[in-house]
């Protein structure tokens, strides 16, 4: 009995101490560093373009993983509770609000399908894919109108053609990129997006006109140069140059409805894609992190449009590639 009383008194004392700890006047002075870090996180979320890209293209590196910056709230919250800092807790509302403003819309339900919608699939199939036929069958099962593929190598191409032939009677391949369509294609041509310092054969862009039941759609398939993260930061100069070349082609495109599909080796937040994102609509719903397939951290496989709206984008199950396929519904204006 005495032991229980002592235990109860100790618990009450701890509870009272805890309340006093929160009630002390210092609660507004504690955690100022945590509050500053919360404010900095919010600032980076809403003003990431203000981060300079030199040295090492730090701005682009931040933008490549920008949605994940919201996770900084978790350790900051734990530390704010440990410090019993009301100031830090209130400051955490800043990054929560900033993240919700920047990315909250991607979590909303997808709009209802419309009569003028096209379903598209985008996939970098990998030049070392050990099962091209199985990959093609998985993509075929989606029932899309258009399928864009990158890293098509000559030895694997016949297997993609055979597996997709039944439902996709029209297809075009230029270099290592291709498109399969349920609808007639015409006017297919290479889009030159090769960076100036690449001297070997390199063809990663095409443009074709898809004659859909809802009208003509100019479809672009592109595979921008890869980026690397090293001691000097983010090596993205070639990708950025290629994006500018593709942007120039889009600026000259006269067809009203345009869809761009491809492995762009950049997220839509990355300033390196500004020549494209300034001219095209990005998906309105879904994160669809597509790379790497084993632990997706970013969506670098993109579906964007002009004269159309890209609704929800989402990933498909893994294939033999190091990328996940993505699919989206595109509503023509």
Same domain, 100 and 115: no
Q: Of 106, 123, 142, which marks where a domain is finished?
A: 106
Residue 147 in tokens: 């399928």
- State the pTM of this model: 0.89
Please indicate, yes or no, whether residues 67 and 191 belong to a single structural domain of this protein.
no
Indicate if 21 and 61 belong to the same structural domain. yes
Predicted confidence (pLDDT) per residue in 280-306, tens digit: 999 999 999 999 999 999 999 999 999
* Residue 252 sits in the same domain as residue 146: yes
Angle at 274 between CA 271 and CA 279, to 5 degrees: 155
Say whether both 151 and 218 belong to one domain: yes
Cα 7 to Cα 185: distance, rounded to the nearest angstrom: 80
What distance in Å separates the CA atoms of residue 260 and residue 219, rounded to the nearest whole number? 6
Do 66 and 185 lie in a common domain?
Answer: no
Q: Could you list the residue range(s) of the whole structural domain that residue 56 is in?
A: 2-106
Q: Are 175 and 203 in contact (CB under 8 A)?
A: yes
Q: Cite the beta strand spans of the chain per DSSP E.
A: 117-124, 146-150, 170-174, 177-181, 184-190, 205-212, 215-223, 228-230, 233-235, 258-263, 301-306, 308-315, 326-332
Q: Does 276 share its domain with 197?
A: yes
Residues 98 and 124 in one domain: no
The β-bridge relationship of strands 215-223 and 258-263 is parallel
Give me the pLDDT at residue 27, please. Answer: 62
For residue range 177-210, what is the model confidence (pLDDT) as tens digits?
A: 999 999 999 999 999 999 999 988 899 999 999 9
- The Cα 319–Cα 129 span in angstroms is 8
Euclidean distance between CA atoms 64 and 148, whole angstroms: 23
Whichever domain contains 206, its CATH number is 3.60.10.10
Q: Same domain, yes or no, for 54 and 144?
A: no
DSSP 100-165: HHHHGGGGSPPPPP-TTEEEEEEEE--TT-S-HHHHHHHHHTT--SEEEEE---TTTHHHHHHHHT
**214-256 tens-digit pLDDT:** 999 999 999 999 998 877 778 899 999 999 999 999 999 999 9
In a shared domain, residues 84 and 174: no
pLDDT at 229: 83
Q: Mean pLDDT of all residues in the chain?
A: 92
Show which of 72, 106, 140 is a domain's final residue: 106
Same domain, yes or no: 132 and 69: no
Count: domains in the chain:
2
In a shared domain, residues 198 and 288? yes
The tokens for 128 are 């070392």
pLDDT, tens digit, for every residue of 312-332? 999 999 999 999 999 999 999
Percent of the chain exceeding pLDDT 90 equals: 83
Q: What number is the average pLDDT over the span 87-114?
A: 94
Last residue of a domain, one of 63, 90, 106: 106
């Amino acid at each position: 009995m005495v032991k229980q009383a002592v235990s109860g008194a100790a618990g009450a004392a701890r509870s009272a101490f805890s309340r006093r700890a929160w009630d002390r006047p210092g609660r507004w002075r504690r955690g100022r560093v945590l509050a500053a870090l919360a404010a900095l996180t919010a600032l980076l979320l809403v003003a990431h373009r203000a981060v300079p890209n030199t040295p090492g293209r730090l701005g682009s590196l931040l933008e490549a993983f920008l949605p994940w910056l919201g996770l900084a709230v978790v350790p900051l919250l734990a530390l704010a509770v440990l410090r019993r800092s009301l100031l830090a807790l209130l400051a955490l509302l800043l990054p929560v609000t900033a993240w919700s403003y920047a990315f909250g819309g991607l979590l909303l339900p997808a709009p209802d399908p419309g009569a003028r919608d096209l379903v598209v699939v985008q996939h970098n199939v990998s030049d070392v894919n050990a099962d091209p036929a199985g990959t093609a069958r998985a993509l075929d099962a989606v029932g899309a109108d258009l399928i864009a593929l990158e890293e098509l190598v000559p030895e694997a191409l016949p297997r993609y053609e055979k597996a997709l032939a039944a439902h996709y009677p029209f297809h075009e391949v230029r270099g290592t990129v291709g498109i399969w369509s349920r609808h007639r294609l015409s006017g297919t041509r290479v889009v030159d997006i090769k960076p100036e310092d690449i001297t070997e054969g390199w063809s990663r862009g095409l443009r074709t006109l898809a004659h859909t039941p809802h009208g003509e759609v100019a479809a672009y398939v592109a595979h921008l140069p890869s980026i690397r993260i090293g001691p000097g930061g983010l090596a993205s100069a070639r990708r950025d140059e290629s994006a500018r070349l593709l942007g120039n082609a889009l600026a000259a495109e006269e067809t009203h409805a345009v869809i761009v599909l491809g492995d762009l080796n950049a997220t839509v937040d990355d300033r390196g894609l500004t020549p494209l994102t300034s001219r095209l609509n990005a998906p309105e719903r879904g994160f669809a992190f597509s790379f790497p397939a084993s632990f997706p951290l970013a969506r670098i496989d993109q579906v964007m449009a002009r004269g159309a709206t890209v609704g929800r984008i989402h990933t498909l199950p893994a294939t033999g590639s190091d990328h996940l396929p993505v699919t989206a519904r595109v509503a023509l204006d």
